[in-house]
Amino acid sequence: YNIYHDRTISGTSKDGSGKEWPGQSNTKSSGAKFEYRFNDANKLTLNYETIGSNFSGTDMVYGGNYVGMYDSNSVTLKHDWQINDQWSNSLMYRATKEKSSWDKPGGEDTDISEPITSNLEYKLYSDNFKYQSDRYSMVGGIEYSKGKDNTNHKETSNTSLFLQGDWEIVPHVTLSGGVRHDRPDGYECHNSFSYKLGWDITEKDTLYAGRSDYYILPSLTQLYDHKYGNANLLASEGRTTSIGYNHEFTPDNYLMLSWFETKSAVGMTMNSTTDKDDPEYGQYQNSIGGLSRGWNAQYNARLSDTVTFKLGWAHLFYDEKDSFTQGYAPKDKATFGVYYDKDKFSAAFDGFYFIRDKRGVKEGVKGWPSDKYGVYNLALNYTADKQTKFYFKVDNIFNKLWAEHTDVIWSGGADSWYAMPGRSFVVGMQYTF
């Protein structure tokens, strides 16, 4: 069994320019997990989780004070059965409830005449099996999911069947294939396929190529949100093609290269109009057609018995059908991490460097705090004994001003972006009993 409780209280923060973002939040989360083994082949697990949060603050972009809350709880019951050396089965039921509320009680937002509330319920039933042999493995099963919007008295549901297999055709060559059949309520049935061919060229070199379909149904919020919802949304669907190569210099020193291209038949976006008086302003909408592609390189190495290192670089391209190409996506993004671990002491220095894709951003408009920036973090840990651990962490070491969302490009005023926190410190102790 495992039982936990966590409480986090936070207040006003500052961004990298020193500007204060007034806000308060009080979040509590609790959970309990009980596992019982009937024998070596059968296991029953019951898991309960709950989260409750209340928050308030001042909206520094749109103006005015806001208050809100979020509560959720979920129960999961799962039975695992190891039938024999080759066959296993997993049966699961999960029920989740979510409630939220958000309001500007001062009346500054004329679109909000009363608090925005949501009351959602989700249920999931699944029965999955797995087969494993020396040259072949297979997973499959059936899932039924149901969502209910108690505020708008709307429901969604979907029944799906899936089967995925990996087959070593000849030594060092593996063919993978899968199919998924969805029968969603209110939509036509849909079949998705995937396949991949992998070749272990040598003991240290692997090459693979594959293609897979995707099919994503709209969420209850996207369909029925009182302000931005669109009940006529179509499901997102398309196909991704990928090619990759992996090389192992040593077991702790390896390089991974990959390239992908995603073609979208139907996409999901938001109305890109900047006219806030337009009734469709910000509404979820479908886009027809779309293309994105990119490559990614990752290098991982153990420099010594105590030091490991990783470095990554991703290059992305999106067409301009999606409103969020207006500076939201990176053109290039580098990530890195250096980790030290010896005896009772460990340390981590990591971060990323972001180069913005500026297509779609109006010329002469400073839509973001910076188009090229790095954010770096440091964490130190000391394990006094098996039960006691002390830690110290610094996020955004160099106090960089940066943002992941902006209102400037949506006809907001200058500097109307939601800046991320500047330099922050965390000091703590963890005791296990």
Dump pLDDT digits (tens) for 138-171: 999 999 999 999 998 999 999 999 999 999 999 9
Amino acid 61: pLDDT: 83
Amino acid 309: pLDDT: 96
The residue written with tokens 């042999």 in the block is 133
Res. 226: pLDDT tops 90: no
Does 137 map to a domain?
Answer: yes
Does 80 map to a domain?
Answer: yes
pLDDT tens digits along 244-277? 999 999 999 999 999 999 999 998 887 766 566 6
Amino acid 263: pLDDT: 94
**Mean pLDDT of all residues in the chain?**
92
Percent of the chain with pLDDT over 70: 94
Tokens of 365: 């408009």
Closest CA to 174 of 147, 198, 203, 156: 198
Q: Check residue 323 and report its DSSP letter.
A: G
Does 24 map to a domain?
Answer: no
Report how far residue 98's alpha carbon sits from residue 82's, in angstroms, rounded to the nearest whole number.
34
Q: What band does 313 get if pLDDT is binned at 50, 70 and 90?
A: very high
Q: What band does 115 get if pLDDT is binned at 50, 70 and 90?
A: confident
Q: 17-31, 197-211, 225-239: lowest mean pLDDT where?
A: 225-239
Cross-strand pairs, 381? 346, 391
Query: What is the number of domains present in the chain?
Result: 1
Does 279 map to a domain?
Answer: yes
Cross-strand pairs, 14? 20
Q: Are 264 and 290 in contact (CB under 8 A)?
A: yes
SS3 of 12-72: the string is CEEECCCCEECEEEEEEEEEEEEEEECCCCEEEEEEEEEEEEEEEEECCCCCCEEEEEEEE
Q: Assign 86 to helix, strand or coil.
A: coil
pLDDT greater at residue 293 or residue 432: 293
What mean pLDDT do residues 222-229 have?
Answer: 86
CA angle 287, 290, 294 (to 5 degrees): 140
Res. 27: pLDDT tops 60: yes
Amino acid 105: pLDDT: 85
Q: What is the domain range of residue 164?
A: 33-431
pLDDT tens digits along 349-405? 999 999 998 876 677 778 899 999 999 999 999 999 999 999 999 999 999 999 988
CA angle 274, 278, 283 (to 5 degrees): 80
Q: Assign 369 to helix, strand or coil.
A: coil
Res. 322: pLDDT tops 80: no
What mean pLDDT do residues 100-121 have?
Answer: 81
Report how far residue 29's alpha carbon sits from residue 426's, in angstroms, rounded to the nearest whole number.
19
Q: What band does 327 get if pLDDT is binned at 50, 70 and 90?
A: confident
Amino acid 86: pLDDT: 96
Does 27 map to a domain?
Answer: no
Dihedral pair phi/psi, residue 369, rounded to 5°: -60, -40
Q: Are 178 and 165 in contact (CB under 8 A)?
A: yes
First to last CA, the chain: 13
SS3 of 374-433: the string is EEEEEEEEEECCCCEEEEEEEECCCCCCCEEEECHHHCCCCCCEEECECCEEEEEEEECC
Amino acid 60: pLDDT: 85
Helix (H) or strand (E) holding 92: strand 87-103
What mean pLDDT do residues 282-292 have?
Answer: 87
Does 298 map to a domain?
Answer: yes
Q: How far is CA 5 from CA 35, 48, 71, 254, 432, in A?
A: 18, 12, 15, 39, 13
Helix (H) or strand (E) holding 220: helix 220-224
Q: Are 194 and 166 in contact (CB under 8 A)?
A: no
Does 15 map to a domain?
Answer: no
Report how far residue 56's alpha carbon sits from residue 23's, in angstroms, rounded to the nearest whole number.
6
Question: How far does Cα 220 stand from its chain's mean position?
Answer: 18
Q: What is the CATH number of the domain that holds 162?
A: 2.40.170.20
Q: Are 339 and 348 in contact (CB under 8 A)?
A: yes
Res. 278: pLDDT tops 80: no
Could you count the other beta carbons within 10 Å of the beta carbon of residue 342? Answer: 11
Does 12 map to a domain?
Answer: no
pLDDT greater at residue 22 or residue 359: 22
Tokens of 15: 């961004």
pLDDT tens digits along 35-90? 999 999 999 999 999 999 999 999 888 778 999 999 999 999 999 999 999 999 99
Q: What band does 195 get if pLDDT is binned at 50, 70 and 90?
A: very high
Amino acid 26: pLDDT: 97
Q: Are 363 and 411 in contact (CB under 8 A)?
A: no
